[in-house]
Structure 1
Amino acid sequence: MNPINKNFITAFNLKIHPWTMEETLAYIEANVISHNINMQHMVINAAVIVYAHKNIKLRNAINNSDLINIDGIPVVWALRFLGHKIPERVAGVELFQNLVQLCAEKNYKPYFLGAEQSVLNEMIERFKIKHPKLNIAGSHHGYYTENEEKKIADDIKKSKADMLFIGIASPKKELFLDKYTKYMDVSFSIGVGGAFDVLSGKTKRAPLWMQKIGMEWFFRFLQEPKRMWKRYLITNTLFFKYLIKEKFSVKRSL
Structure 2
Amino acid sequence: MTGRRTLFGVELDPLTMDETVARCLAAVRDGQQLEIGVVNAAKLVNMRRDERLAAAVAGCDLVLADGQAVVWAARVLRAPLPERVAGIDLFLRLLAEAETSGIPVYFLGAKEEVLDRMLLRVADRFPGLKVAGSRNGYFDDSEQEEIADSIALSGAQMLFLGMTSPKKEIFTAAHGARTGARVVHGVGGSFDILAGVTKRAPESWQRLGMEWLYRALQEPRRLGRRYLTTNASFLVMTARELLRPAPPATASANRSR
Does TM-score exceed 0.5, indicating one fold? Answer: yes
Give the whole-Å Cα distance in 1 for the aligned partners of 2:245 and 2:14: 18
Q: Are 1:135 and 2:125 counterparts? A: no
Give the whole-Å Cα distance in 2 for the aligned partners of 1:12 and 1:154: 36
Query: Offset of 1:249 from its aligned partner?
Result: 3.4
Tell me what 1:8 maps to.
4
Decide whether aligned partners of structure 1 residues 250 and 134 sit closer, same or farther in structure 2, where only a CA change above 3 A counts: farther
Amino acid at match of 1:118: E
Task: Structure 1: state its 5+ residue gaps.
Answer: none
Tell me what 1:231 maps to.
226
Task: Structure 2: state its 5+ residue gaps.
Answer: 250-257
Alignment of 1:73-92 (within 5 A): 73-92=68-87
Tell me what 1:110 maps to.
105
Give the whole-Å Cα distance in 2 for the aligned partners of 1:181 and 1:244: 36
- Percent identity over the alignment is 40
Q: Tell me if structure 2 keeps the 8 A contact 1:82–1:250.
A: no
Q: Are 1:212 and 2:210 counterparts? A: no
Q: Tell me if structure 2 keeps the 8 A contact 1:12–1:53.
A: no
Secondary structure at the aligned position of 2:159 is classed as strand
Alignment of 1:88-167 (within 5 A): 88-167=83-162
Higher-Rg structure is 2
Amino acid at match of 2:25: E
Query: Offset of 1:108 from its aligned partner?
Result: 0.3
Tell me what 1:31 maps to.
27
Give the whole-Å Cα distance in 2 for the aligned partners of 1:48 and 1:41: 14
Which among 17, 27, 37 is matched to residue 13 of structure 2?
A: 17
Decide whether aligned partners of structure 1 residues 133 and 244 sit closer, same or farther in structure 2, where only a CA change above 3 A counts: same
TM-score, length-normalised on structure 1?
Answer: 0.94
Q: Are 1:187 and 2:182 counterparts? A: yes
Q: Tell me if structure 2 keeps the 8 A contact 1:142–1:167.
A: yes
Structure 1 moving runs of 4+ over 6 Å: none
Give the whole-Å Cα distance in 2 for the aligned partners of 1:175 and 1:42: 11
The number of equivalent residue pairs is 249
Tell me what 1:57 maps to.
52
Q: Deviations over 1:98-123 (max 9, x none)?
A: 00111110000110011111111111
Q: Tell me if structure 1 keeps the 8 A contact 2:34–2:182.
A: yes
Give the whole-Å Cα distance in 1 for the aligned partners of 2:225 and 2:163: 20
Give the whole-Å Cα distance in 2 for the aligned partners of 1:92 and 1:250: 34
Q: Tell me if structure 2 keeps the 8 A contact 1:40–1:190.
A: yes
Amino acid at match of 1:212: R
Q: Deviations over 1:186-206 (max 9, x none)?
A: 111010111111111100011
Give the whole-Å Cα distance in 1 for the aligned partners of 2:10 and 2:248: 17
Which among 31, 36, 39 is matched to residue 41 of structure 1?
A: 36
Q: Deviations over 1:113-151 (max 9, x none)?
A: 111111111111111111111110111111111122122
Decide whether aligned partners of structure 1 residues 250 and 69 sit closer, same or farther in structure 2, where only a CA change above 3 A counts: farther
